[in-house]
Amino acid sequence: MTRQTQTATSALPWWKTATGYQIYPRSFCDSNGDGIGDIAGIISKLDYLRDLGVGFIWLSPVYDSPMVDNGYDISNYRDIAPEFGTLADMDRLIVEARARGIGIVMDLVVNHCSSAHDWFQAALKDPKAPEHDYFIWREQGKTNGPPTDDMSYFGGSMWEWVPALGKYYLHQFAKEQPDLNWQNPALRQAIYNMMNWWFDRGIAGFRMDVIDLIGKDVDAGVFAEGPDLHPFLQEMHRETLAGRDVLTVGESWAVSPKTALLYCGQERGELDMVFQFSHVLAGFHPEHGKWGDVPFDPVAFKQTFFDWQEVLAEDGWNALFLSNHDLPRAVSKYGDDGALRLRSAKLLALAIHLMKGTPFIYQGEEIAMTNARFSTMDQFRDVETFGQYEAALAAGLTREEFIKGANRNGRDNARTPMQWEDRAQAGFTDGTPWIDVNPNYRQINAKTDRADPAGVFSFYQSLTELRRCLPVVAIGAFRAFAKSHPNVMAYTRMLDGEKLSVIANITGETVVFDVPQKMQQTGRCLLFTVAERQALGATVTLAPYEGFAILQR
Ligand code: GLC
Ligand code: CA
């Protein structure tokens, strides 16, 4: 790219021109044959990530943990789980990634810790210990049961009885994940100190796990976006983030376009961006949630992204993603993971990555990995799947229906091992993997895909490069067109007289699209999924999952 375009983006924060890549360490690359991915394995794949062109890695938790929720239950925030490696390995990862222009963004899980954490152990042992108040305790309710009827996300009551203390403690997730009491100032300070300790080791930022839950008012029954959420985030910013050139992205299932700017408005002093889930929630069943399924609704899908583009047009910043370790594989959920797998995977990438915001690629998405298709309950590993199984049966689903739902939307779909090569266990491990490898690794693997110039990996390479090098992709103004069109997602990006038009048929049907006047143009075709096009006239016939981007200068 030219020197000129480089200067145009050099004044921006680095994360506005970077693409992120999420690693779920357990399933990425196993270096020692124990069947579990590890930090040394990640280091061995850094050149692959440099080739992909990513600017940072969001690393799901690698801290010490009993692994009830695969690391989202942390027993020591200042150490690494032995199966993943050592602190020295982590330091090496930070340095080696940095040498390739890649920052390491860690996962900050501070709504809860593990019941094995010293804090919780001290809290159990002695109600007078200062750590006792790091957790949330209540007496029995009126009927000698839990204080409230609230249910945990992983099934069962949110309250766990401790006979020796004669009290309940709160856990919104598994009972091995007690909620931390953010009302306690010493606890908050301990968290800030820990964050600074990691920043001083050279990390590039934090992804903040279920951060919308920390400001809860338990007695009022307000858990998400509670009254103290924003004061706490502002305090955290003052104590840790202020003055540091780092990236923060908060996970919030509750955030809506109405509350988005409270988290990421530039003058707020809170976060840079949030992961919002409206496109995911739009695909949930009204009664059975993620375990029941509703057909893909292209209009609702587009609308959620467009709403967010519009709300954050002038202030705040979007985090753009389709999948992560909690969600099904993007191509299986929103595209066609059969005959049109390659094309629909590229199409989805095109549609998402050319909007304004920081895009995130979830490991394996860059080679269009698909959902697992498990047939028996014993193939599943996820604590949520097991926790919700009984509840789903009680709510009237059959076992077959539940497994079907889990194969569509369950979290294990995204957690099967990364498919590197067409050899035993997809080249992920020399041992027995902790969860089954998807048998389709013979066709779908990184080596095969990269050998194909029209493969998905090279398509993603183009996307990361465009974001790095073309200011109109990074910061151009966004405008949506044909919002209610049932098949086509269409938008433009504009900057300094340049116009980028993106047309994406997000369905498997052939359609004739009336091109809105403001999108009609001739220019350079930057990317396409079916055929190169230099001109956009009054109508265009689009093949299934056909999409392209044209830049007019
Ligand atoms: C977040 C994580 C998920 C985890 C939960 C509890 O949603 O992404 O994997 O189970 O929080 O920490
Ligand atoms: Ca290992």
- For the segment 154-206, what is each residue's pLDDT rounded down to a tens digit? 999 999 999 999 999 999 999 999 999 999 999 999 999 999 999 999 999 99
Q: Are the C-beta atoms of 293 and 405 separated by less than 8 Å?
A: yes
Active-site option among 69, 107, 251, 546: 251
Compute, in angstroms, the gap from residue 40 CA to the centroid of ligand 2.
Answer: 8
* First-to-last C-alpha distance (Å) of the chain: 15
Compute, in angstroms, the gap from residue 324 CA to the centroid of ligand 2.
Answer: 21
pLDDT band with cut points at 50, 70 and 90 for residue 2: very low
Q: Note the pLDDT of residue 290.
A: 84
In angstroms, what is the C-alpha Rg of the chain? 23
Alpha-carbon 74 to chain mean position: 19
Phi–psi pair at 475, nearest 5 degrees: -130, 5
The answer to whether the pTM exceeds 0.85 is yes
Give the start-end residues of each E strand in 297-398.
319-320, 358-362
Compute, in angstroms, the gap from residue 41 CA to the centroid of ligand 2.
Answer: 8
pLDDT of residue 7 exceeding 80, the answer is: no
Q: Residues of 8-38 as b/e, b for ≥16 C-beta within 10 angstroms?
A: bbeeeebbbbbbbbbbbbbbbbbbeeebbbb
Structure tokens at 160: 């766990």
Atom of ligand 1 nearest to the CA of 173: 6
Q: Are the C-beta atoms of 138 and 178 separated by less than 8 Å?
A: no
Protein residue whose Cα sits closest to atom 6 of ligand 1: 72
Q: Note the pLDDT of residue 142.
A: 85
Q: Are the C-beta atoms of 359 and 320 separated by less than 8 Å?
A: yes
Known catalytic membership, residue 209: yes
Place of tokens 């766990």: 160
Task: Kindly report the average pLDDT of the chain as a whole number.
Answer: 96
CA distance 124 to 465: 52
* Nearest to 306, CA basis, from 550, 462, 469, 485: 485
- In single-letter form, the type of residue at position 303 comes to Q
pLDDT tens-place string over residues 377-387? 999 999 999 99
CA distance 293 to 5: 45
Compute, in angstroms, the gap from residue 414 CA to the centroid of ligand 1.
Answer: 13
Protein residue whose Cα sits closest to atom 12 of ligand 1: 72
CA distance 434 to 514: 50
CA distance 251 to 277: 9
Residues, the chain, total? 553
pLDDT tens-place string over residues 205-225? 999 999 999 999 999 999 999
Instruction: Tally DSSP H helices, then E strands, for the chain.
Output: 17, 24
CA distance 422 to 201: 37
Protein residue whose Cα sits closest to atom 7 of ligand 1: 210
Compute, in angstroms, the gap from residue 98 CA to the centroid of ligand 2.
Answer: 23
Atom of ligand 1 nearest to the CA of 325: 9
Collapsed DSSP state (helix, strand, coil) of residue 328: coil
Q: What share of the chain is helix, strand, coil (3-state, %, to 5)?
A: 35, 20, 45
Instruction: Say which ligand is closest to the CA of 29.
Output: 2
Residue to mutate, 177, 326, 327, ligand 1, most ligand atoms under 8 Å from C-beta: 326
Instruction: Say which ligand is closest to the CA of 81.
Output: 2
Known catalytic membership, residue 251: yes
Active-site option among 107, 209, 212, 337: 209
Give the start-end residues of each E strand in 278-376.
284-285, 289-293, 319-320, 358-362
Instruction: Say which ligand is closest to the CA of 61.
Output: 1
pLDDT tens-place string over residues 18-51? 999 999 999 999 999 999 999 999 999 999 999 9
* Nearest to 61, CA basis, from 240, 251, 223: 251
Atom of ligand 1 nearest to the CA of 69: 10
Pocket, ligand 1, Cβ cutoff 6 A: 69, 72, 109, 173, 209-210, 251, 325-326
Place of tokens 């009054």: 538
Compute, in angstroms, the gap from residue 206 CA to the centroid of ligand 1.
Answer: 14
Considering the chain, what percentage of its residues have pLDDT values greater than 90? 93
Collapsed DSSP state (helix, strand, coil) of residue 207: strand
Q: Are the C-beta atoms of 412 and 380 separated by less than 8 Å?
A: yes
Which position has the higher pLDDT, 284 or 363?
Answer: 363
Atom of ligand 1 nearest to the CA of 73: 12
CA distance 467 to 5: 11
